[in-house]
Amino acid sequence: MLSRTASNLYWIGRYMERTEFTTRLIEATIRLNSLTRDAQSNQAWRSALAVVGETKGFERSGENLSAFNVSRYLSLAEENSNSVRGCLNGARDNARAARNSLSREAWEAINRAWLSVSGRSSPGGAQAALNLVEAIKAETLGFEGAVARMLRSEGYWFLRLGSVIERADNTARLLDVKYYLLLPEGEQIGGALDRDQWTTILHTVSARTAYRHIYPDALKPWLIADLLIFRRELPRSLSASAAEAVQLLSDIGERTGRQGQADRLVRQRESKLLETDIRTVFQRGLHQYLQRFIRENAEIDQAIATQFRFG
């Protein structure tokens, strides 16, 4: 496979994963915002911007912080390359370049998702925004189903590799923002707002039911952190993403003969996760742990680009 095609597939995986995560984040934030008091009405949207690293980008837009403005910025803003529109533009451009390496169903799911935002300039009110989110979620789920049926070869492996690298970054950022930024000053930990926020976190990563299956306890922050970091049963956990990255790079290496720094880094990361538990993470600082994980994930991304000569 040409390095250019491998890069296209890798970035399709990243863009489509980012699209799904952002749509789920918008949906969860709309629901959380409806439960908060007027004085806290913008806090949920401020935290959503922080999760996707777009706080400064939104400030540069000059718009007032409001549910409508932030939801537009995250979903349809052309000036935001990480908006849902921007991600779908990126996914579609890469899919067109790698068309021969994608199944027809995967291409059609990307194209339908792109068409759902093409020509739109506003998400509308809360219900209209939720309708848009549901439509895009349906197409991203269709894309995942199409990818699951692809031939297990380099095309599938590079696409999935992009997805799990993006997924790990998203989950780590989401959890970090909750602990470090999200709870307003003066709010009681374990209070009603805190519980609503944790429920929102689980909703964003499709883990509400998973939590109830694994833990008999009511929602507890350290158990949610354990679920999102260490439980491999949860596909969006850091541990599950790390393990899949190891396997995907191993599969690619066996087929292409290209192994190197990226393989070493993903194996080191998996070993660290296996040797650590949630008690140790909290003792050493969850924020510091997650920030280090995010940096290491970015290093793995760069190592993959170098190892496979992405342009």
Report the range of poorest mean pLDDT among 3-12, 203-212, 302-311. Answer: 203-212
The confidence score (pLDDT) of residue 188 equals 45
Q: How confident is the model at residue 44 (pLDDT cuts 50, 70, 90)?
A: confident
Among 16-25, 146-155, 185-194, 288-297, the least confident range: 185-194
Structure tokens at 214: 């694994």
pTM of the model: 0.93
The reported pLDDT for the residue numbered 34 is 75
236: its two tokens: 């969006």
Least confident of 71-75, 108-112, 144-148, 185-189: 185-189
Class of residue 103 by CB neighbours under 10 A (exposed 0-12, middle 13-18, buried 19+): middle
Q: What is the pLDDT of residue 107?
A: 96
CA–CA distance, 217 with 203 (Å, rounded to integer):
17
Cα 18 from chain centroid?
5
Q: Is the pLDDT reported for residue 109 higher than 50?
A: yes
pLDDT of residue 277: 95
Mean pLDDT of 30-34: 80
Residue 112 neighbours by CB distance under 10 Å: 16
**How many of the other CB atoms lie within 10 Å of CB of 68?**
16
- Cβ neighbours of residue 270 closer than 8 Å, sequence gap 6 or more: 239, 242, 243, 245, 246
Average confidence score pLDDT of the chain = 90
Instruction: Residue 209: count other Cβ atoms within 10 Å of its Cβ.
Output: 9
- Per-residue model confidence (pLDDT) at position 187: 47
Q: What average pLDDT score do residues 250-255 get? A: 95
pLDDT at 180: 64
What is the reported pLDDT for 186? 47
Q: What pLDDT shows up at residue 50?
A: 92
Mean pLDDT of 276-290: 93
Query: In this structure, is the dihedral angle defined by the CA atoms of residues 88, 92, 93 and 97, taken in order, positive or negative?
Result: positive
- Of 52-56, 115-119, 298-302, the range with the lowest mean pLDDT is 115-119
**Chain center to CA of 71:** 17
∠ Cα 100 101 103 (to 5°): 90
Q: Above 80 in pLDDT, residue 37? A: no
Check residue 241 and give its pLDDT: 98
Could you report the per-residue pLDDT of 189-246, keeping only the tens digit for each? 455 556 777 888 888 888 989 999 999 888 888 899 999 999 999 999 999 999 999 9
**Would the pLDDT of 90 be above 60?**
yes
Q: In this structure, are residues 42 and 54 in contact, taking their beta carbons and an 8 Å threshold? A: no
